[in-house]
Amino acid sequence: MTETKRKLRSEAWFGGEGKNAFMHRSWMKNQGIPADAFDGRPVIGICNTWSELTPCNAHLRALADHVKRGVYEAGGLPLEFPVMSLGESNMRPTAMLFRNLVSMDVEESIRGNPIDGVILLVGCDKTTPALLMGAASCNLPTIAVSGGPMLNGKFRGQDIGSGTHVWKFAEEVKAGRMPVADFLAAEQGQSRSAGSCMTMGTASTMASMVEALGIGMPDNAAIPAVDSRRGVLAQMAGRQIVELVRKDVTIAQILTRHAFENAIRVNGAIGGSTNAVLHLIAIANRIGVDLSLDDWDRLGRDVPTIVDLMPSGRFLMEDFYYAGGLAAVMASLDEVGLLHRDAMTVSNKTIGELIDGAPNYNTEVIRPLSDPLTREGGISILRGNLAPNGAVIKPSAATPELMQHRGKAVVFENIEHYYARIDDPELDIDASSVMVLKNCGPRGYPGMAEVGNMPLPAKLLKQGVSDMVRISDARMSGTAYGTVVLHVAPEAAAGGALALVRDGDLIELDVAGRRLELLVSDEELATRRHDWQPPAAPEGGYQSLYVERVLQADKGCDFDFLVGRRDAGIPRHSH
């Protein structure tokens, strides 16, 4: 019996002899595409976030060529298309402001074009979740290919990490222990090759999440951007996406509940960025998986951090790859029953099949579970009257002695107030104080900028203070470190209790008890709330839409009208 060939989505554009098919094929042929390319073979969209304004992704044009080779080899037709590129290093006020906008760009670009399957070329922090969110809403066969991390930073005989050493060196300058000339001399050595941050910042965390979720090819997390094996991975992804289209394996069949649970546990084991909390919740909500802050705490609470990488540890992503990469980490988790082995991946193998026997070549970089970097490495979720809907802290990057702390608040009403006040010699602050930064959340900034790590005042740095408890509705760079409580929900600009904190208020942090409390009476808070005024909203433009429709941090900061899956049916004709 002959197998019936499934009619592909792209045939609604290119198939047949009518006027519309004529137009679609004719204009495509002006690129030199031969007639037999429209014979019903899979059309693969390559969604590229290449941009010279996004340094982490500036090499993705070359990577797209590797994908195209693989697509052609497998009998498909690759067609590359651009979307807005989000660069964390250059974009203001914050790339996070535009994550949802890019997801809309991706979703409608996929749905409105003759695409049967899609390769997402991602790298810098927000490009990964933005593209996955858009693709999830369409539910076509999908593979994400990350651009890979830079080579290890080098400066005067030591390895330095992108982002992480910026914060460290800047504090050394403020404390008078590092000349400005030395600080500036480290610039070129930190970023010495193509690729994204080589620390376990948000870019490397999200590349790891791509692999852990099964939506990327094996070794996606750690191959350096300039290693030839990154090109091989891209080419194999090009071949594989054609296979997924022919078998009709959609993104919803990969991004299951089990996949997200695996990713949460992997995030704890690698000491991943707090930003992964927002992004995975947003992606899950697009695909139809109910994922919450409680899931993050429940699933990640007892997972030790075993990857000794900056900012939590000593090494960098290049070392991680040579040590065995994410497969070695997942194999360790699997040994103690912390993974769903049956979760399917885009490679047509289960997670269990991919990690069986995965070697660990360096037990200093990927430590045994019996000797972890941090015994409780998962993201901890805090609640209390200061964060009734939740806040997050990354224990692996925090100071153990500060994980249970009570101190007086030193309050900054916004980031400008912080910069104006932090190095005032008259500022009443000491090592026991709790720094509080307001109005930097989704609505308040707007866009929830990475300002939550709040560098310490120079006078305390000069005294040898290296960490303090800091609390904000903002985010923190995944490359940063410290005892920082973030994503406080509801945020100050939405009327959360954070808006009511004043200088001198006592705040209690108890990470083990998962509590964050403002020790002020309900009566006093009610009085303060009566006097509180919300900040003025932006007038017109995209920022106005953002502030009006963005969800709070505990819901992933997506737009309320984008939650859910709309799939990619055939739109009506344009002519």
Q: DSSP readout, 2-24?
A: PPPPPPPTTHHHHSSSSHHHHHH
| Cα 211 to Cα 325: distance, rounded to the nearest angstrom | 10
Position 14 in a domain? no
The pLDDT score that the predictor gives to residue 575 is 85
Q: 277 with 132, same domain?
A: yes
| Cα 521 to Cα 299: distance, rounded to the nearest angstrom | 34
| Cα 412 to Cα 495: distance, rounded to the nearest angstrom | 16
Position 31 in a domain? no
The strands making up 43-48's β-sheet, listed across from edge to edge, are 77-82, 43-48, 117-122, 142-146
The amino acid present at 348, given as its one-letter code, is N
Query: Range of 511's domain?
Result: 380-535
Taking 90 as the threshold, does the pLDDT of residue 568 lie above it?
yes
The pTM of this model reads 0.96
pLDDT digits (tens, 9 = 90+) for 104-143: 999 999 999 999 999 999 999 999 999 999 999 999 999 9
Give the H or E element holding residue 77.
strand 77-82
| Cα 182 to Cα 424: distance, rounded to the nearest angstrom | 25
Q: 294 with 412, same domain?
A: no
pLDDT digits (tens, 9 = 90+) for 384-409: 999 999 999 999 889 999 999 999 99
Mean pLDDT in residue range 354-363: 97
Q: How confident is the model at residue 3 (pLDDT cuts 50, 70, 90)?
A: very low
**Contact between 554 and 277 (Cβ < 8 Å):** no
SS3 48: strand
Q: 181 with 136, same domain?
A: no
The pLDDT score that the predictor gives to residue 405 is 98
**Contact between 140 and 117 (Cβ < 8 Å):** yes
Position 12 in a domain? no
Q: 158 with 94, same domain?
A: no
Q: 349 with 392, same domain?
A: no
How many residues would you count in the chain?
575
The pLDDT score that the predictor gives to residue 479 is 78
pLDDT digits (tens, 9 = 90+) for 456-497: 999 999 999 999 999 999 999 887 889 999 999 999 999 999
Nearest to 301 by CA among 512, 470, 477, 487: 512
Q: How confident is the model at residue 353 (pLDDT cuts 50, 70, 90)?
A: very high
Q: 211 with 129, same domain?
A: yes
**What pairs with residue 121 in β-bridges?**
48, 145
Mean pLDDT in residue range 497-501: 98
Domain boundary among 189, 216, 240: 189
| Cα 164 to Cα 157: distance, rounded to the nearest angstrom | 17
The percent of residues in the chain predicted with pLDDT above 70, rounded, is: 99
Q: Supply the CATH number for residue 307's domain.
A: 3.40.50.2300
Q: 223: which residues sit within 8 A by CB, 6+ positions away?
A: 148, 229, 230, 233, 321, 325
The pLDDT score that the predictor gives to residue 1 is 34
Structure tokens at 569: 């049916």
- For the chain, the maximum distance between any two Cα atoms, rounded to a whole number of angstroms, is 86
Taking 90 as the threshold, does the pLDDT of residue 223 lie above it?
yes
For tokens 């409390």, the residue is 517
Position 5 in a domain? no
The pLDDT score that the predictor gives to residue 574 is 87
Q: 311 with 410, same domain?
A: no
The pLDDT score that the predictor gives to residue 161 is 93
Position 374 in a domain? no
Mean pLDDT in residue range 224-229: 98
**What pairs with residue 45 in β-bridges?**
79, 118
Average pLDDT over the chain reads 96
Mean pLDDT in residue range 17-37: 95
| Cα 46 to Cα 142: distance, rounded to the nearest angstrom | 10
Q: 136 with 166, same domain?
A: no
Q: 351 with 402, same domain?
A: no
Q: 225 with 289, same domain?
A: yes
Q: 286 with 351, same domain?
A: yes
Taking 60 as the threshold, does the pLDDT of residue 231 lie above it?
yes
The pLDDT score that the predictor gives to residue 328 is 98
Domains: count for the chain: 3
Q: Supply the CATH number for residue 407's domain.
A: 3.50.30.80
| Angstrom distances, CA of residue 529 to CA of 498, 504, 519 | 11, 17, 16
SS (H, E, C) 209-246: HHHHHCCCCCCCCCCCCCCHHHHHHHHHHHHHHHHHHH
Position 53 in a domain? yes
For 454-534, list the strands marked E by DSSP: 469-472, 484-489, 506-510, 515-518
| Angstrom distances, CA of residue 107 to CA of 101, 136, 137, 214, 501 | 10, 8, 7, 20, 40
Structure tokens at 492: 């100050």
| Angstrom distances, CA of residue 313 to CA of 159, 301, 364 | 12, 19, 10
Q: 402 with 331, same domain?
A: no
Mean pLDDT in residue range 97-101: 98
Position 27 in a domain? no
Position 556 in a domain? no
In the chain the first and final C-alpha atoms are separated, in Å, by: 40
pLDDT digits (tens, 9 = 90+) for 169-179: 998 998 899 99
Q: What DSSP state is assigned to residue 507? A: E
Nearest to 460 by CA among 235, 57, 176, 41: 176
pLDDT digits (tens, 9 = 90+) for 447-463: 999 999 999 999 999 99
SS3 518: strand
pLDDT digits (tens, 9 = 90+) for 30-73: 999 999 999 999 999 999 999 999 999 999 999 999 999 999 99
| Angstrom distances, CA of residue 370 to CA of 269, 303, 305 | 13, 12, 11
